[in-house]
Structure 1
Amino acid sequence: MKTILNIIWLILCGLWMCLGYFLAGLILCITIIGIPFGIAAFRIGVYALWPFGYTTVERRDAGAGSAVGNVLWLILAGWWLALGHIVTGIALFITIIGIPFALANFKLIPLSLMPLGKEIVPSDRPFATR
C-alpha cells in the first residue's frame, strides 16, 4: 500500500516539492555557511519525494546549534517551502482522492519550517535514532 501511495504522491506533488527542496539546497550550498542547510534541504527533498513509510523523530543529541540553525533556516528557506506545502495541500484537498495526500503535505510543514534536530526514519521503527 505504501508503494501505491508513494507512486500517486510522486505524480501529484512529490516531484515538484522535491525539486523545490533541491533548488533551495543548491542555493544554500553556494556559501560555505549555507552548506549544512543545503544538506538538510537535500535530505528533506528525498523525504518529500517518497514520504509514505517514513516519519520524523527528534534527535536526542541535537543541541542549541540546531535551534539557532532552525531560526536561520526559517528565514532563508523554511517559510517559502512551507508555503509550497500549504498551497499544494489546499489544491489536493479539493478532490476526494487528494485528501490523504493533502494531509501528508500538511504533515511536512513542521519539518519544512524547523528541520534541524530531526531525523527521518522508517515508520516501522520510529524510535531509532543515532
Structure 2
Amino acid sequence: MRLLLNVIWLVLSGFWMALGYTLAGVICCILIITIPFGIASFRIANYALWPFGRTVVDRRDAGAGSLLGNIIWLVFAGFWLAIGHVVTGIALCVTIIGIPLGIANFKMIPVSLLPLGREIVRVP
C-alpha cells in the first residue's frame, strides 16, 4: 500500500514539492553561511518525493543553533514552502482518492516550517 501511495504522491504533488525544496536548497547553498539550511532543504526534498513509510522525529541533541536557524529559515523559506503544502493539500483533498495525499501534505507542514533539529526516519 505504501508503494502505491508513494507512486500516486510522486505524480500528483511529490515532484513539485521536492522541486520547491531543491530550489530553496540551491539558493541556500549559493551563500556560504546558509549551507546548513541547504542541506536540510535537500533532506526534506528527498522526504517530499517518497513520504509514505517515513516520519520526522525531533533530535534530542539539537541546541540553540537549531532554534536560531529555524527562526531564520521560517522567515526566508519555511513560510513559503508551508503555503505550498497547504495549497497542494487542499487541492488533493477535493477528491476521495486524494484525501490520504492531502493529509500527508498537511503532515509535512511542521518540518517545512522548522526543519533544523529534526531527522527523517523509516517507519517499521
TM-score range, shorter chain: over 0.9
Query: 1:1-130 residue pairs with structure 2 within 5 A?
Result: 1-124=1-124
Q: Which runs of 5+ in 1 are unaligned?
A: 125-130
CA distance in 2, matches of 1:112, 1:5: 21
Q: Which amino acid aligns with 1:100?
A: P
**Aligned pair count?**
124
Q: Cα RMSD between the aligned structures? A: 0.5
Which residue does the alignment assign to 1:127?
none
Q: Which runs of 5+ in 2 are unaligned?
A: none
4+ residue runs over 6 A deviation: none
CA distance in 2, matches of 1:93, 1:6: 16
Query: Helix, strand or coil for the counterpart of 1:121?
Result: strand
Deviation at residue 83 of structure 1 after TM alignment: 0.4
Give the number of the structure whose residues are more often helix, by fraction: 2
Which residue does the alignment assign to 1:128?
none
TM-score under structure 2 normalisation?
Answer: 0.99
Identity of aligned residues (%): 68
CA distance in 1, matches of 2:6, 2:94: 19
**Alignment deviations for residues 39-65 of structure 1 (CA, whole Å, 9 cap, x no partner):** 100000000000000001110110111
TM-score under structure 1 normalisation?
Answer: 0.94
